[in-house]
Amino acid sequence: MSVFSTKAEKVFILAFFFIALGVPLFFNENTFYVNKISTMLILSIFVMSLDYLVGKTGLISLGHAMFYGLGGYLFAIMVPEYEEVNFWIYTFYVMAASSVIALIVGLIVLRTSGIYMIMITLALAQMTFYFFADSTEYGGLDGLFIYLKPETSIFGLNFLDLDNETHFYYLCLLSLFNCYVFFKITLQSRFGRVIDAVKENPERATALGYNIFHFRLVAYVLSSSLAAYAGYLFSLQYGFVNPTMMSWEVSASALVMAILGGLGTVFGAILGVFVYESLHYGIEHMTQYWMFWMGSLIIVMVLTLKSGIAGLVEKLVTGKRK
């Protein structure tokens, strides 16, 4: 079995990472584009984690931004204010802490399903949002600053400087790549096949002796902790966290990007983010009423694309080869 599920995926992933490797070379004059694309890479990790949850395990969350925000806040809270910490150690801390939270949250939300799960994830995310927004010690609605970026030495080697935009870009790219590979591996493993079975036919999976609750819980924790990792990266990029990172609008737009990209395709998450964000960026600079055009485009895409942009790419790729 090939690593890639479809031809479109193969073409896109190879092209994407090849081009992405060279991006800082094209834009070496201009750190903005490198920063902007870094943000999109981070967002891709976040949306990919949601795509995995929604598209692959069939668990729809409208509160995924809760973990995105928590990733940033966990770091901002744990890190000593004026001391340089190690990136890898804190990556571990942030992901471990968010996994524990995801485990507890998962135990609650996975009792429900369908529309009720959408709503309970929303409720918990709103609670977390208000917890930080109303707090005095965590900066309230104004958010928190992270003063010192972590250093990245590992085994005595120190080759990444997070204050350097290009270095940070490659860290994001590497993270996205790892994240993609991780999801592909878990999906093609025995665990992934069970997850598929649980989504397609929960009754049958139960009859075969699988405890579907456990499988869903593991998937939920994996997805959530990667969302937290994305939020952690975002907070490092500009050294700033704000409760609106976990507002329901962020969750909803991540869901929009995942659906737009092509649900359940994993690589579609990258497509969704890059298309949505580029359109947003482009239209916003052309007109004050960008929302009208953005909304119209979303509607047109929903009506014309049956399986998201990934489906469109698939058509283009296979069409050409015929």
Residues of this chain that bind other proteins (CB under 8 A): 30-33, 35-36, 39, 54, 60, 108, 111-113, 115-116, 118-120, 122-124, 126-127, 130-131, 133-134, 136, 140-143, 145, 234, 237-240, 242, 244-245, 248-250, 252, 255-256, 259-260, 263, 284-285, 288-292, 294-299, 302-303, 306
Q: Which is nearer to other proteins, 120 or 205 (CB)?
A: 120
Q: Are 265 and 302 in contact (CB under 8 A)?
A: no
Contact 69, 128 (CB under 8 A): yes
Residue 38 to residues 9, 48, 237, Cα–Cα distance (Å): 21, 15, 8
CA 63/CA 125 separation, integer angstroms: 5
Say how far apart CA 201 and CA 295 lie, in whole Å.
35
- Which one, 115 or 316, has the nearer CB to other proteins? 115
CB of 123 to other proteins, least distance (A): 4
Q: Which is nearer to other proteins, 92 or 281 (CB)?
A: 281
3-state DSSP assignment of residue 154: strand
Query: CB 156 → other proteins: shortest distance, Å?
Result: 30
In the complex, minimum distance from the CB of residue 7 to other proteins, in angstroms, rounded to a whole number: 23
- 26: which 2 tokens? 């094209």
* Nearer CB in complex with other proteins: 13/94: 94
> Which tokens hold the place of 160?
């990444």
Q: How far is the CB of 321 from other proteins (least distance, A)?
A: 27
Q: Which residues contact 164 (CB under 8 A, 6 or more apart)?
A: none
CA distance 111 to 265: 26
CA dist 279 → 90, 272, 298, 308 (Å): 34, 11, 10, 16
φ, ψ (nearest 5 deg) of residue 265: -100, -5
39 or 175: CB nearest other proteins:
39
Nearer to other proteins, 13 or 150 (CB): 150
What is the nearest approach in angstroms of other proteins to the Cβ of residue 263?
Answer: 7
- For the bound state, the minimum distance from the C-beta of residue 66 to other proteins, rounded and expressed in Å, comes to 12
Which residue reads 């937290």 in tokens?
228
Q: Which is nearer to other proteins, 111 or 154 (CB)?
A: 111
| Distance in Å, CB of 128 to other proteins, minimum | 9
